[in-house]
Chains A and B, each alone.
Chain A
C-alpha cells in the first residue's frame, strides 16, 4: 500500500474536526478545498503499487474539481452574498467538537466490528470514512447558512468517496466520472440557488426558509 495513505486519512479526519469548530465561511471553504486536495492525493496513494494513467487522470480531475473549482464557485457566491460568518448555529461549536470526538470513537468501535471480505488500504480507511460521513450529516442538520450546508454536503460526499477508494478497488471509470459529474452539477445548481436565495431574502439562512408548512393554513 502507498506511503501517503495514512497521513492523508489522518489529515482528513482532523480537517473534519476543524470544520466542526469553525464559524467563518471563508475558512470553511478553505478546509473543504484542502480535503479535496487530500482526496486527490489519497486516490494516487491508494493505487501506488499499480499506478495507471487512468488513476492519475481521475486524481487530477478530483484535484481540479474539489480542490479548485468548487471552492472558487462557492467563494464567488460568498462574495455576492455578503455573509462572512455562520449565524448562530443550532448546535454550538464547542458541543459540535465534542460530538465529533464521540463520533470518531464510535467510528473506530464500529469499524472494528465490520467484517470486511477484502483488506482495506489501511486500517484507518473505514473509521475515517465513517467519521467524515457522520460529520457531513451532522453539519447539514446543525448549521443554518445555506452555504455551510453545501460545504457539509461536500464533506459527506468526501467521506463516502473515502470509503469507496479505501475499501472498494476497481470501480469502473465511467461510474467514477459519472459520480464526479453529478456532484459537480449539484454544487453548481446549489450555488445558483444560494445566489437566488440571497437576492430574494437578503440572507442565506436556510433555517428561515419556513414559509411552506401545513400548519399555518
Chain B
C-alpha cells in the first residue's frame, strides 16, 4: 500500500498544482507533499512495504537508501523553494550576465514538474523490473527538463536542449541494453527469464555471458551519460549552472544517484553471474577518468556554479570507482553517495543565496560573503571543506573508506591516482571558496544589508548539521542498513 502512496502522492499533487491559481496555496501543497512523502519514506524503515505487481515494485535496502536520500533532499528543497519562488515573483527580470530582460516559466508548471520529478525518482528506486527502471529513468529526464528552463533566457534554453538530447540518446542506448539483456536471458527452447532482478539473479548461471557483457557496456554508457561520468558528462555543467539553484541541488543530489542505481542494478546481475570483474575494471577506469576531467576543469574555474557541477562529476567518479574496487569499497561508495548528496545539495542551496544578493555567477565578482551574508558565508566555507573531503565531515570518512579498501587490495596505483586527484581538486576548490568568502565586501552589497531569511538558511543549515554528524558518528542502524545494501552488490 505504502508504495502506491509514495508514487501517487507526488503524481496527484503535481497534477493538482498544475491547475492551481493561488501561488501561496500551491507552495503550501508542495511542502505538504514533500513532508508526506518524507514521512512515508521514514515509515518504510519501521514497516517494510509489501511488494506490488508481482514483485516488480519492491523496496530493497539499496532502493530504500537512495529513496531516503531523495526524499530528504526534496523536503529541504521544497522548503527552500517556497522562499525562492517568493523572491522570484516579479514579472520580468534583468539578466545579470547580458542585461537582457527575461521572464520565468509559470510557477504552476515549475511546481508541478518538481512533484512529477519526485514521483519519477521514487519509481526509479522501487523498480525491480529493469524495463520499468528504464522507463522511470527516462521519465526523470523529461520531468526535470522544464525545471532547467525556469529562467526563460537563451542560456538556460541551450542547457535544456543539450540535457534533453544528450540524456535521451544515452538512455536510448540503455534501452538497447535492456533488449540485449532480454537476449542474454533467453534460453534455447524459446523461454525467457523475466527481466526482474530476483529472477535474473536466481537464474544468473544460465545467462548468456557475451550478451550480458554487452548489456553492461550499453547500460554503463547509457546510464553513465545521465550520471555524468566523463567523457559523457558534457551536459552536466551547463544544466547545473543554468538551472535555478534549488533545481541544481536536486539534479546533483538526487538525480545523479538514480542513474547510479541503474548501473548498480545491472552490476548486481553481472556479479550473480560471476562476471563482477568485467564491469569493475571498467568502473575503475571511468571513475579515475571522471575525477581527472573534473580536476582539469575545476582548476581555474571562475563560475562557481560550474565549479560545483564539476565537483559532482568528480564525486560520481568516486562512487563508480568505489563500486569498481568492490569489497569494503562498496560500503564506502554507498556511504559516499549519502554524504555527497547532502553536502552538494546544501552547497547549491547556499549558492542560490549568494546569487540572489550578488547577482553574479563569477567567483571573481563575489567577495566578502562572510561580511555580507554571515550565515551563508559560514555554510559556504563549511560546505567546501566538507565536499573536498576534509575532516570532520562525512565525505572524509567515506572517501577514506574507499582509499583504505584500495590499499588493502594492494592496488597502490589506483590509490595513488585517487589521492593526487583529490588533492588537486581540494586546492582548486578551496582557493575559490576562500576568495569568495573572505576579503573586503564591496559597499554595494554591504550597505544593502540583505537579510537572510529562515527559509533560505534553514534547509542548507540542517543538511550541513547532518553532514557534520555523519563525519563524527554513523548511527549503528544506518551502518547496518548501508552494509546490507552493499551486501546486495556482492
Residues of A at the B interface (CB closer than 8 Å) are 115-118, 133, 136-137, 140, 146, 149, 153, 156-157, 160, 163-164, 167-172, 174-175, 178-179, 181-182, 185-186, 189-190, 193, 196-197, 200-201, 206, 209-212, 214, 217
Contacts and interface: CB of A to CB of B under 8 A. Distances in A.
Contacts of A169: 190
B162 interface: yes
Given A153-B165, A160-B179, A170-B192, A193 B132 contact: no
Given A190-B168, A212-B238, 9 more contacts: A146-B161, A175-B129, A175-B131, A182-B138, A182-B142, A190-B164, A193-B160, A206-B161, A211-B154
Contacts of B187: 117-118
Contacts of A212: 155, 158-159, 162, 237-238, 241-242
Given A163-B176, A193-B145, A200-B157, A174 B169 contact: no
Interface in B130-144: 131-132, 134-135, 138-139, 141-142
B186 interface: yes
Nearest 9 Cβ contacts at the A-B interface: A175-B131, A178-B135, A209-B158, A168-B182, A212-B238, A182-B138, A200-B154, A117-B186, A118-B186
Contact of B175 (A116, A140, A160): A160
Contacts of B371: none
Contact of A193 (B129, B164, B242): B164
Interface string B149-175: 100111101111110110011001001
A144 to B, nearest CB: 12
B392 interface: no
Contacts of B159: 212
Decide if the interface of chain A is mainly helix, strand, loop or mixed. Answer: helix
Contacts of A210: 158
B42 interface: no
A196 B175 contact: no
11 contacts: A118-B190, A153-B165, A153-B169, A160-B175, A160-B179, A164-B179, A171-B131, A179-B131, A189-B145, A193-B161, A211-B154
B183 interface: yes
Contact of A217 (B162, B165, B172, B302): B302
A185 B164 CA distance: 11
B157 A193 contact: yes
Interface in B290-305: 297, 301-302
Nearest to A201: B154
Contacts of B168: 153, 186, 190
Contacts of B93: none
B164 A182 contact: no
A172 B138 CA distance: 18
B444 interface: no
Contacts of B154: 200-201, 211
Interface in B198-235: 208, 210-211
B181 to A, nearest CB: 9
Given A117-B188, A149-B165, A189-B164, A211 B158 contact: yes
A115 B187 CA distance: 12
Contact of B183 (A168, A185, A217): A168
B333 to A, nearest CB: 28
A209 B169 contact: no
B27 interface: no
A156 B172 contact: yes
B327 interface: no
A201 B218 CA distance: 35
Contact of A214 (B161, B192, B297): B297
A178 to B, nearest CB: 4
B297 to A, nearest CB: 6
B410 to A, nearest CB: 37
Contacts of B131: 171-172, 175, 178-179
Nearest to A175: B131
B208 A182 contact: no
B132 A174 contact: yes
B149 A160 contact: no
B146 interface: yes
A171 B154 CA distance: 41
A209 B135 contact: no
Contacts of A168: 179, 182-183, 186, 192
Contact of A189 (B132, B146, B302): B146
A149 B301 CA distance: 31
Contacts of B149: 193, 196
A156 to B, nearest CB: 5
Contacts of A163: 176, 179
Nearest to B187: A117
Interface in B86-126: none
Contacts of B145: 189, 193
Contact of A186 (B142, B157, B162, B237): B142
Contacts of B164: 186, 189-190, 193
B336 interface: no
A38 to B, nearest CB: 19
Nearest to B137: A182
Contacts of B306: 214
A210 B301 CA distance: 18
Nearest to B145: A189
Nearest to B135: A178
A152 B340 CA distance: 36
B157 A214 contact: no
